[in-house]
Amino acid sequence: MRDSAGLSPDFAVPHGARLSLRAGAYYNRPALPEAPNERPARIVTDLPWSLAGLMARIGPVDDAAMRRAATRQGVLTKPPGSLGRLEEVAARLAGMFGTARPAIGGKAVIVAAGDHGVVAQGVTGYPQSVTGQMVRNFLEGGAAINVLCRLGGVRRIVVDAGVASDPPPEHPDLRSLRMGPGTGDITLGPAMTRRQAVLCLEYGAGLASEVIADGADLVATGDMGIGNTTPSSAIAAAMTGKHPVETTGEGTGRSAEELLRKTAVVETALEVNSPDPGDSIDVLAKVGGFEIAVLAGVVLGTAAERRAVVLDGFISGAAALIAHGLSPACRDYLIASHRSAEKGHRAVLAHMRLDPLLDLAMRLGEGTGAVLAMGIVEAAAACLTEMATFEEAGVSDRPDNDAVAEEAEG
C-alpha cells in the first residue's frame, strides 16, 4: 500500500466557501503534519486545520424552526399526527434547513468504491475484480442504483476511492481519488495510514460541498467494495463496544461455517490493530476502508452545509459512526433510510439513536435504500410546505385548535 503524502487535494477553505471537485481536476497542497506518537484517549487533537475547521462548522439544528414547523403541522388540513412519521421527518428537515417550510430542490447520491486487502482471508465468495467491474456498470447505467436514480430524479456521482483494478475510462460522473490499490489486510496490520484516512475524509467533504453547491438538498451515501462488510463489522464493534459476533453478518451470502470464519477474521483485526474508540480516525485508519472514509467525509461535509444526509445500509452506517465519533452534532443531520438485513446495522443504528424509515430486508448497498427513501423524505417536506391550512382552505377545524392556528399565523 503506497503512502499518500503526495496525493493531497486542496479542501482547506474558509467558512462558507464552496468546493469544486470536477472530473479531471487536480489539486495540490503541502503534506499534512505527522500525527504525534501519543494521543489523548478520548479527544482527537492532531487534525489538520481543514478537517478541524470543517467540524467546527457543524452546529446544532434550528430548534425554533422545528417548533414553527410543528405548529404549522397542527393547522394543516388533516387530523394532528395523521401523517405519522412524515411529520417527524419534516420537522427534522426544518431544523436542518433553518426554515419552518423546507423545500427539497436537488437530490444526489455519492457512491464510493474501494477494495480491501482482507479479502485474502476468504471473507467473501466474490472475486475482488467485481468492485472495478461494478464501477464500470454504475457509469454505464446498468446497476440497481442507476435504475432507482433515474426513477427518482437523483444525480449520481461515483468515486474510485481505491479500487484494485485498472481505472475506468473518464466519465463526467466519475471522481478518481485512487488512494491505493485497495487497503491493507487488516488481519496483518492497519488498513491505511492516518494521513490517508484524513485525505479521504476531506475528499468526501469536498464532494458533498460540490453537489450541494449544484443544488442538492438531500445527499445520499452509497458504497461498492467486495469484502467491505468485514471492515464495517470491525468499525461497528470498535465504535459501539459490541462483540464481533453481534456486528458480523453474512455479507454477500456466507454459510454458517463461513460466517464463523468471517467473525474470527474481525476479531483478529481488532486484536492486531487495537483501534482506539475514542479516536475515530484511529479506528478508520486501522480497520476501515477508503470508500468508508470518503463516505464519512460526505456525512461531515453535508452536515456542515446544513443539509440532510440520507444514509444507506450497513457500510454507510459504519461511515456515519466514524463521522459521529468526530462530530456528535452531525447525528441531527442523519436520516436512516432503511434497516439492512446485515445484523451489525442494528447495533450501528442503536448507537446513534436512529430509527430507519424502511425495513425491506435489503442488503445490496450502492445507495439503493437511501435513494428509495429519498421520495419519502421529499414527500414529508412537500406536505409540510405545500398543504393548505384550515383557514386557507376554508375547512372547519376542531374548535379547540383555534389557539394553535393563531400561533401558526404568528
Which residues are known to be catalytic?
Answer: 366
C-alpha grid cell, residue 341: 438485513
C-alpha grid cell, residue 81: 399526527
Measure the CA–CA gap between 155 and 146, rounded to whole angstroms: 9
CA 243 to centroid of chain Cα atoms:
23
Q: 363 by DSSP, 3-state: which?
A: coil
Burial of 319 (0-12, 13-18, 19+ CB in 10 A): buried
Measure the CA–CA gap between 59 and 55, rounded to whole angstroms: 9
Measure the CA–CA gap between 210 and 263, rounded to whole angstroms: 38
Reading phi first (left if > 0) and then psi (alpha if -120 to 50, else beta), residue 162 is in left
Positive/negative CA dihedral, 206, 66, 321, 279: positive
* Complete DSSP assignment for 45-58: ----HHHHHHHHT-
CB 294 within 8 A of CB 161: yes
Q: Which residues of 50-82 are buried (b: 16+ CB within 10 A; e: fewer)?
A: bbebbbebbeebbeebbebbbbbbbbbeeeeee
